[in-house]
Amino acid sequence: MKKEKIKVQLDLKISEKFHTLWNSYFLSPPKGVEYFKSEFTGINKKNRKILQVFYKILKKPLNKVIKNFDSKIIDLLRKEKDFDLIHFANYVGKTKKPFIADYEAIVVFSGEDDERKRKEFEKILRQKNLKFLLPMNKKVLESFNLYFKKSGLNIKQEVIYPLPFIPKEFKKDVKKENIVLFSGSSNLLYQTGIYNKGSFEVLLAFKEISKKYPHWKFIFLGKTPLEISVKSKENLIIKDPIPQEKLWELMNKSKIFVQPCYITPAMSFIEVMNFKLPIITYDSNANKEYVDSKNGILIKPEEANIFNKFNKSVINEDQMKRIRKNSEKNSIKIMKAIEKLLNNEALIKKLGENGFKRIINGKFSIEKRNKKLKEIYLKALE
């Protein structure tokens, strides 16, 4: 089906704000594609916040009484206007229109109850008008195949890496400063999310290495684990998450990015590649799809056992205890990786440039992403 302009309804659920990983769809869409955010009956700017408060309060109890209440209310209220297809963002809804859906993790289909949820989602995924699923990395596709191994589902899937749209004014050449940067997530502020990012080990590493390298700044952005107390000093700066634009400015003038996360982040690796930063991270989950010896350093962490048989992440108190137990060993590995770069400016530059090339014309370029998306949309409309 050939069309001059493909109109895509991007469904981000009933939310006023959405994760920045979908910003680039609106700000840098594929040629010949126009995106429209889903609208919902009875919800407007005036009453949105009040309704969201009630929704949060009633969601759990109503889900117990009415099966899949939260999904049903979204499908019921969605206005399906004169668009060609729906692109569900990190979930799968029900619609009569042709649709595709992206997903960041298998938890989108499993929730906390693996067995019961599988049967529920099998029905949803058997909709004939589901044309494609778009996993956000190869590892999550592997997880999907494990989870639905016995289901006999036959769905076309294409990996689409989430890419940021960073305005040119934030990518201007600036003089790099001696900064080693760690940035935790701004939306994962609970303890399991904090541990997922490797915050515990990084604080230990920064505390020690900052003593040895007084002419470098070690900046830790994010909430800290409750079980550790490290105070800021002149070259060790510990701050809460900062606004996105301020973070880009800081990334642009930093030299090294550290985020030894156990579960692959959606955006930060690709963001820092835009600013030519080498990346230090764990060889865990899908991290190696983003980072290798050409653009950073992969560290083999002590075993944390945070993935179940479906490669689904499960971080609870037991896993956090294991991470704390291994934190000293892992912090030493992180320090050694940082030192390798601190003592080799040429290597910092080389790794940073290699990462940047992947943004310009490699697998993380928006142009290649857009070409692939356009092809998927066209196939979905055949």
- Pair 130, 173 in one domain: no
Does 322 reside within a domain? Answer: yes
14 and 154 belong to one structural domain: yes
- Residues 16, 106: one domain? yes
What pLDDT, on the 0 to 100 scale, is given for residue 188?
Answer: 54
Q: What percent of the chain has pLDDT over 90?
A: 67
More confident of the two residues 118 and 169: 169
* Residues of the domain holding 186: 168-360
Residue 288 domain-assigned (yes or no): yes
**Is 186's pLDDT higher than 70?**
no
The CATH number of whichever domain residue 44 belongs to comes to: 3.40.50
Is 333 among the domain residues? yes
* pLDDT at 247 exceeding the cut of 90: yes
Same domain, 303 and 172: yes
Indicate whether 150 and 175 sit together in one domain: no
Which of these ranges, 20-34, 102-116, 139-153, 303-317, has the smallest mean pLDDT? 102-116
137 or 17, higher pLDDT: 137
Do residues 177 and 127 share a domain?
no
181 domain residue, yes or no: yes
Domains held by the chain: number: 2
- 207-218 pLDDT, tens digit each: 999 999 999 999
Flag whether 1 is in a domain: no
The stretch 158-164 carries a mean pLDDT of 94
d(Cα 315, Cα 196) in Å, to the nearest integer? 8
Shared domain check, 308 and 243: yes
| 329: pLDDT strictly greater than 70 | yes
* Mean predicted confidence (pLDDT) in 172-178: 95
Tell me the pLDDT of the chain averaged across its residues. Answer: 90
CA 240/CA 242 separation, integer angstroms? 6
| 189: pLDDT strictly greater than 60 | no
| pTM of the predicted structure, to 2 decimals | 0.91
Domain at 201, CATH number: 3.40.50.2000
pLDDT per residue as tens digits for the range 115-141? 777 888 898 999 999 999 999 999 999
Q: Does residue 10 belong to any structural domain of this protein?
A: yes
Q: Do 151 and 61 sit in the same domain of this protein?
A: yes
Pair 326, 372 in one domain: no
Instruction: Say yes or no to pLDDT of 13 above 70.
Output: yes
Let me know whether 246 and 142 are in one domain: no
The answer on 87 and 23 residing in a single domain is: yes
In this prediction, residue 94 has a pLDDT band, given cuts at 50, 70 and 90, of: very high
Lowest mean per-residue pLDDT among 120-124, 293-297, 344-348: 120-124
75 — pLDDT class (breaks 50, 70, 90) = very high
Give the pLDDT confidence score for residue 18 in this predicted structure.
67
- In this structure, are 273 and 375 located in the same domain? no
